[in-house]
Amino acid sequence: MTILPPAPRPCASCPYRADVPSGVWSEEDYDKLPRYDNPTWSQPPSLFICHQHSGDDDQARVCGGWAGCHDGDNLMALRVALAEKRITVETAEAIRDYASPVALFASGAEAAAHGMRDILDPSPDARRVMNKIVRVRPEVTPFSARSTG
């Protein structure tokens, strides 16, 4: 299966978006973000897939926030995915050239710090975002969705 290029705009719950409330995703999800800030040789070898689809879904696409936040020329995951033919050359170019139409955090570390800030006490806005995620992907459980009623 080939992973699709990023959507034209990062999804409304993207952890890289500066306008997404803090505390939406789990600590494990936020812990992944700064790893892509590392030097190429110490980054994760896996693409960051948009949360709207599972990795084995035929509609799975690269996260637009991830593509917009990180320098595609230095992403180990992009190199590995090309070598494994998980993405096409055109998708790799789309990731490298991606420019988000919405504000993103300047790094995975900034996005993670923002996301973790309210993880133990998400705002009503964060809880609304979590409920939307669960409606689209019931198998995904954002941090506090279990307790949002």
The model's confidence at residue 3, banded by pLDDT at 50, 70 and 90, is very high
The residue extents of the domains of the chain are 27-143
Residue 139 CB burial class (10 angstroms; 0-12, 13-18, ≥19): exposed
pTM comes to 0.89
Whether the pLDDT of residue 1 is over 80: the answer is no
Whether the pLDDT of residue 20 is over 90: the answer is yes
The model's confidence at residue 136, banded by pLDDT at 50, 70 and 90, is confident
Query: What confidence tens digit (pLDDT) does each residue in 46-84 have?
Result: 999 998 876 567 788 999 999 999 999 999 999 999 999
DSSP state, residue 24: -
Instruction: Answer for the pair 127, 142: CB distance below 8 angstroms, yes or no.
Output: no
User: Average pLDDT, whole number, for the chain?
Assistant: 90
